[in-house]
């Protein structure tokens, strides 16, 4: 399962924070593991005279100098302050004792402490950038949601049933002794679906586009109606989001045929079968449908603008 982008971001910042804190803590521990011991200048001079100084770092100040020295053998650090006037003599004696000397005009600050002091500002800037991206992303989602408006249409159709005619529902021919009376193939589900789609897009109804007074639609396959409706939707930049339909008939049982119906309808509309939901009901023996004299369908179609 793919982790949501928000969880990935939180996890990333969490581990970055843990790594940063661990690094700073380790640096502080290592830095303070062997701290320099403070000495009076007279005591430091004795170490110099005994050649106990291995190396020194001297940081010049206005009237004095800070001296940090590493001692031979013990590998300990000591520090002291000397007057600026004493510096030439001290450096000469250190060179005589073969000590390494490093003199700096200004002492560089403790970078660890500088990082620690800057860390809150760095984290604040990072957090502000993170919030800015979140706000920008939310704004884009709101704009996209505003553009992708949805529209709903309702379709209804009913056909009388007569013996000796083919029963076609949802683009599938069903084994039955009766079929619909109609100008085309009488597919009650396809006709109701076509009306729902056209209505949602504000494009009239099936009679407007395929009038029963036009001979070219005599016995026509109703899948052609759906294909034409799909082209009209594309022209107006509408996409089919969902279709919910119910077919009302006493016989035959429609449930076993729904998978093939969904495939046929989805193919005609150029959508996935998951977008089409079909149901079947009887009329409990009431009226023409209940007597097996008619078949009807109700459809609700939802479109989104693209």
Number of domains in the chain: 1
Give me the numbers of helices (H) and strands (E) for the chain, helices first please.
Answer: 9, 12
Contacts 24+ apart (CB under 8 A), 273-279: 275/240, 275/241, 275/242, 275/243, 276/243, 276/245, 277/242, 277/243, 277/244, 277/245, 278/170, 278/189, 278/245, 278/246, 278/247, 278/254, 279/244, 279/245, 279/246, 279/247
Residue 163 lies in a domain: yes
Query: In angstroms, rounded to a whole number, what is the distance separating the alpha carbons of residues 305 and 155?
Result: 20
State the chain's maximal CA–CA distance in angstroms: 126
Give the contacts of 7 (CB within 8 A, at least 6 positions apart): none
CB atoms within 10 A of CB 91: 16
Q: pLDDT tens, 17-69?
A: 666 666 665 555 555 556 778 888 888 888 888 888 889 888 888 888 888 88
For the segment 190-215, the average pLDDT, to the nearest whole number, is 89
Residue 278 lies in a domain: yes
Q: What is the CATH number of the domain that holds 239?
A: 3.30.1330.50
- pTM > 0.75: yes or no: no
Mean pLDDT, the chain, as a whole number? 84
Residue 214 lies in a domain: yes
| Contact present, 247 and 281 (Cβ < 8 Å) | yes
Residue 266 lies in a domain: yes
CA angle 40, 45, 50 (to 5 degrees): 130
Residue 100 lies in a domain: no
Residue 6: DSSP 8-state: H
For residue 239, the Cα-to-chain-centroid distance in whole angstroms is: 22
Q: pLDDT tens, 147-176?
A: 668 899 999 999 999 999 999 999 999 999
Residue 217 lies in a domain: yes
**Domain boundaries, position 297:** 150-305
Residue 10 lies in a domain: no
Give the contacts of 233 (CB within 8 A, at least 6 positions apart): 197, 201, 203, 239, 240, 303
| Contact present, 60 and 83 (Cβ < 8 Å) | no
């Amino acid at each position: 399962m793919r982790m949501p982008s928000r969880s990935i971001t939180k996890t990333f910042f969490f581990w970055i924070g843990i790594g940063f804190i661990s690094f700073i803590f380790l640096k502080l521990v290592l830095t303070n593991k062997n701290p320099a011991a403070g000495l009076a200048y007279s005591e430091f001079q004795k170490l110099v005279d005994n050649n106990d100084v291995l190396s020194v770092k001297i940081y010049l100040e206005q009237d004095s100098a800070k001296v940090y020295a590493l001692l031979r053998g013990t590998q300990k650090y000591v520090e002291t302050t000397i007057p600026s006037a004493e510096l030439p003599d001290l450096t000469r004696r250190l060179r005589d004792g073969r000590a390494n000397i490093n003199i700096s005009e200004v002492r560089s600050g403790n970078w660890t402490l500088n990082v620690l002091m800057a860390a809150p500002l760095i984290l604040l800037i990072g957090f502000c950038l993170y919030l800015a991206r979140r706000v920008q992303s939310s704004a884009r989602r709101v704009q996209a949601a505003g553009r992708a408006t949805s529209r709903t249409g309702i379709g209804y159709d009913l056909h009388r049933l007569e013996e000796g005619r083919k029963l076609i529902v949802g683009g599938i021919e069903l084994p039955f002794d009766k079929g619909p009376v109609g100008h085309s193939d009488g597919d009650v589900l396809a006709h109701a679906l076509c009306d729902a789609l056209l209505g949602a897009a504000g494009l009239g109804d099936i009679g407007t586009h395929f009038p029963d007074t036009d001979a070219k639609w005599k016995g026509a396959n109703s899948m052609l109606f759906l294909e034409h409706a799909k082209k009209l939707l594309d022209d107006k930049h509408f996409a089919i989001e969902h279709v919910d339909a119910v077919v009302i008939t006493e016989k035959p049982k429609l449930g076993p045929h729904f998978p093939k119906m969904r495939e046929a309808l989805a193919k005609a509309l150029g959508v996935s079968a998951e977008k089409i939901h079909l149901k079947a009901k009887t009329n409990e023996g009431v009226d023409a449908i209940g007597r097996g004299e008619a078949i009807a369908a109700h459809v609700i179609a939802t479109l989104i603008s693209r």
